[in-house]
Structure formats: structure tokens, C-alpha cells
Amino acid sequence: MLAVAPATAALRALIGTARRVRAGAPSRVTGPEPTRGAADVRYRLKALKAGSGVVALELDARDLGDATAQARAQGYAVLGTAGGAAFALPRLRRAPRFPLLLFTQELLALLDSGIALVEAIETLVEKEARPETRAALQGVLARLYEGKPLSAALEAEPDAFPTLYIATARAAERTGDLPEALGRYIAYQRQLDAVRAKVVSAAIYPVILLVVAAAVMLFLLGYVVPRFSGVYEDMGDRIPWASRVLLQWGKLVEAQPWLVIGGAVAAVVGTGVAVTRPATRAAFLRALRRLPAFDTQLRTWQLTRFYRTLGMLLAGGIPIVTALQMVGGLLDAQLRARLDGATRAIREGRPLSVAMEAHDLVTPVALRMLRVGERTGRMGDMMERIAVFHEDAFARWLDTFVKAIGPALMVLIGIVIGTVVVLMYLPIFELAGSIG
């Protein structure tokens, strides 16, 4: 028994190293990896290290706090975390989200009334009824009791507080004006929510059309076609080929109804799971970007979010290079590679507008506004104006697209449903013609 334990530990260390090599993460050779406990989980973290830039780490840890501590011990500054296991099955029910905007609004109201920060957090803990939210706030409060700054207390709860929020708090600690920073984040989040609401409202009408069309098709294929298949059963080869295929489907539904229902349910569930996967969304976006009109609008939309977030960080006092590294996750892989090049150029002393133009990260309007911001020294405000300009343009394009896609969907739905109806009645037309 005593000889088995060291061998088991060595084997676990070897397996951990092999996993990191397969994942593309740098393997450690400074010593054997500590033995994982039964409750250890693999976490993915986004971190920054001098000389290496932004990297992705995979660490085995008891929880997110432990994973963050391991990354810091290796000299990394943690920017964010994916949270959860690297190979976790998709959950049908999402975990409750931390109400970040509501928390910020309530904290700002308490601070404006003259209540100290620790006392304000205590008040929010006392009023909170949801267990998950209360636990996160209690964690923040415990670290404030230990004398840690607010940014460090928030950073220990990565599931509740994103990287941008922590950066806002850290910048407020430098300036000593936390209420102003919180107000700036509230305005930023409300603007993003307003744009997101426009996109959702624009998608409601096409989605309703598709749902109604799917319901009609299910009724035709699941109820009407099986009834017609029994009527045409004695006609034999006199039925046209296309109608024969449709009627064979009707016979299958009559013979194996539960098999068909199970297949339909499996298809719906599989589609829902696939939609929640980042790889599926990325593939869908790549397909859209093959269309010139969509490619231009998606690129502009990404740059709009990029400039709005970057402007908020710069207005909060975050250095430009650090801010650029923090907002890189808002861009896709292609634009992120261009941003890395622009960041290197800025480190070399080039102006922001020149670096962005050289790496095709600006629109003509954005380029002119960036030059104005460099002359006036109000770069954060100017990036906010860039975002507002392009959000208005995107909203106008979205309205035009929805007005065009609605009639196009109705025509397509009419063609599909009409084809099914014609195929059902085509044998009757053939029979009537032969009798005549």
C-alpha cells in the first residue's frame, strides 16, 4: 500500500502534463504536479503576463478562487475566467445570474446618501433573499473586513463580477471617486441593454413567422398526410413519384408514431443544445460573414462594442495598452489578431488613430473622431460618440432588414406549405384527368 501511493501520484502528474500538452497550454517542468483531490475541477482562465501578452490557462483547482490564486502564484494577472469544468455537459437550466446592474444601482444610492462602503455592502447583504446572490455579497464583505480593497474583493467572485467591472473599481480606487465610476458603469450597461433590446425586438417578428410555419407543417405532416395515405393506398403506381414519397412518410407516421415523435423531440433538443454552444454560434457568424452586407454590419457592430467598452475604461483612468488587452475578447479571432498588432504599434509610440487605421480597426467616421480625441485629450468621450454614431446606423440598418425579411419569409413559407398541399391533392388531379 505504501508503494502504491507514490506511483499513483506520479501517474496523476503525468496525466495532468499530457492534458496540458494536448490543450496547447505550457507544461510545467519545475516539479511534480500536486495530487488532485476528489473535488478538483479543471478551470479555464484568461490571464496576462509581462512579455507573454494575454494567454489562456487551464488549471486544476477546488474552486475558482483556488484557480485564480494558482495563476497569480505563476506570475499571471487574471483578466477573466470561463468558470466551470473544461469538459462539462451542457446544463438545461442555467444558474441564476448575479443582478450586477441592480447591485450597482443600489450601491450607488447608498454611497450617495453618505453611507460608508462596508456599511453599504452590509445593508445589501441583509436585504438580499436569494442564496446565490447573498453568498457572493458575503464573500465580498468578508474580504473588505480583512482590509482588502474593493477591486480585490470583487475579483475573488469572478462568477458575479466581470473583468470590466473589476477594472472600473480598480480605476476608482486610484481616483478616489467610486460613485462616479459606478454611475459610469450603469450608463454603459444601460446603453448596451438598449441596443440588445433593439436586436431582440427586431428578431421577434421573423421568429413568430417561423414558429407558425413550423406548427402548420407539423399539422400537415403529422395529421393530414397520414389520412391521405390511407385514401390513396389502392391507387398503386398511378400516384406521381413526389406524392408517393410524401405518402410513404404518412404511412411511417401511422405505423411508428412514437418513433417519429421521439425523433422530432431529439431533433429539437439537439438543436437547442447546439445553439448554446459557442462553436455553433461561431460557425453561424462565419456563414453570415460570407455575405458582403452582413460582413460589413457584423464588423461594425463588433467595433461599436469595442469602442464603447474601451471608452469607458479610458474614462475611468485605465492605461490604453491595458484597456486594449482587456477588451480584446469582444472581437472575433480575425479582428483580435489585428488588435494585437495595433497594441504593439501603440507600445512602440504610434498614435492610437494611426495604429488603428494601419490594422483596419476603424471606419472613416471613427478615424476622424479618434484624431479629434487625440487633439483634445478627451479620448474616452470621443469613443463614446463613435459608439453612439454607429449604434444609430446599425439600428437603421436593422429596421430596414426586418422590413425586408418579413415579406420574404412569408413568400418562402407559402411556397413550402403550398408545395405540400399540392403534392397531397396531385393524385386526385391525375385521377380526374384520367376519368375525363
148-168: per-residue pLDDT in tens? 888 888 888 888 888 778 877
In this structure, the answer to whether residues 13 and 72 fall within a common structural domain is yes
- The CATH code of the domain that includes 143 is 1.20.81.30
Report pLDDT digits (tens) over 278-306: 777 677 777 777 777 777 788 888 888 88
| Domain closes at, from 164, 191, 218 | 191
Domain count, the chain: 3
Helix (H) or strand (E) holding 6: helix 4-23
In this structure, the answer to whether residues 58 and 109 fall within a common structural domain is no
For 24, the grid coordinates are 496547447
Model confidence at 94: pLDDT above 60: no
What is the amino acid identity at position 146? E
Which range has the top average pLDDT, 18-22, 86-90, 291-295? 291-295
In this structure, the answer to whether residues 282 and 330 fall within a common structural domain is yes
What is the amino acid identity at position 195? V
Low-confidence winner among 33-37, 220-224, 281-285, 405-409 (lowest mean pLDDT)? 33-37
In this structure, the answer to whether residues 65 and 111 fall within a common structural domain is no
| Domain closes at, from 157, 191, 225 | 191
In this structure, the answer to whether residues 354 and 246 fall within a common structural domain is yes
Cα gap 235→310, rounded to integer Å? 71
> Taking the complete model, does pTM exceed 0.75, yes or no?
no
Please give the pLDDT value at position 16: 43
Please give the pLDDT value at position 28: 36
Mean pLDDT of the chain: 75
In this structure, the answer to whether residues 106 and 187 fall within a common structural domain is yes
Higher pLDDT, 16 or 164: 164
| Domain closes at, from 163, 191, 219 | 191
Residue 90 lies in a domain: no
pLDDT confidence band for 113 (50 / 70 / 90): confident
Residue 309 lies in a domain: yes
Coil, strand or helix at 43: strand
Residue 378 lies in a domain: yes
Q: Counting beta carbons within 10 angstroms of the beta carbon of residue 176, is it exposed (0 to 12), middle (13 to 18) or buried (19 or more)?
A: exposed
pLDDT confidence band for 230 (50 / 70 / 90): low
pLDDT confidence band for 87 (50 / 70 / 90): very low
User: 3-state DSSP: the chain helix, strand, coil percent, rounded to 5?
Assistant: 75, 5, 20
Model confidence at 7: pLDDT above 50: no
Cα gap 367→357, rounded to integer Å? 7
Which range has the top average pLDDT, 71-80, 167-176, 228-237? 167-176
Residue 92 lies in a domain: no
In this structure, the answer to whether residues 111 and 150 fall within a common structural domain is yes
In this structure, the answer to whether residues 186 and 219 fall within a common structural domain is no
Cα gap 436→434, rounded to integer Å? 5
Angle made by CA atoms 197, 201, 206, in degrees to the nearest 5: 145
In this structure, the answer to whether residues 66 and 203 fall within a common structural domain is no
Q: What is the mean pLDDT of residues 364-388?
A: 87
Contact 53, 324 (CB under 8 A): no
Residue 70 lies in a domain: yes
Residue written as cell 437550466?
A: 93
Please give the pLDDT value at position 62: 63
Q: What is the mean pLDDT of residues 199-203?
A: 79
For 232-331, where are the alpha helices, taking DSSP H only?
241-255, 257-276, 278-289, 292-315, 320-326
In this structure, the answer to whether residues 301 and 161 fall within a common structural domain is no
Higher pLDDT, 11 or 48: 48
Pairing between strand 53-61 and 77-81? unpaired
Report pLDDT digits (tens) over 324-371: 887 877 777 788 888 888 889 988 888 888 988 898 888 888 889 888
Residue 414 lies in a domain: yes
In this structure, the answer to whether residues 18 and 161 fall within a common structural domain is no
Quote the domain boundaries for residue 144.
100-191
Residue 412 lies in a domain: yes
Residue 17 lies in a domain: yes
Cα gap 288→127, rounded to integer Å? 46
In this structure, the answer to whether residues 50 and 151 fall within a common structural domain is no
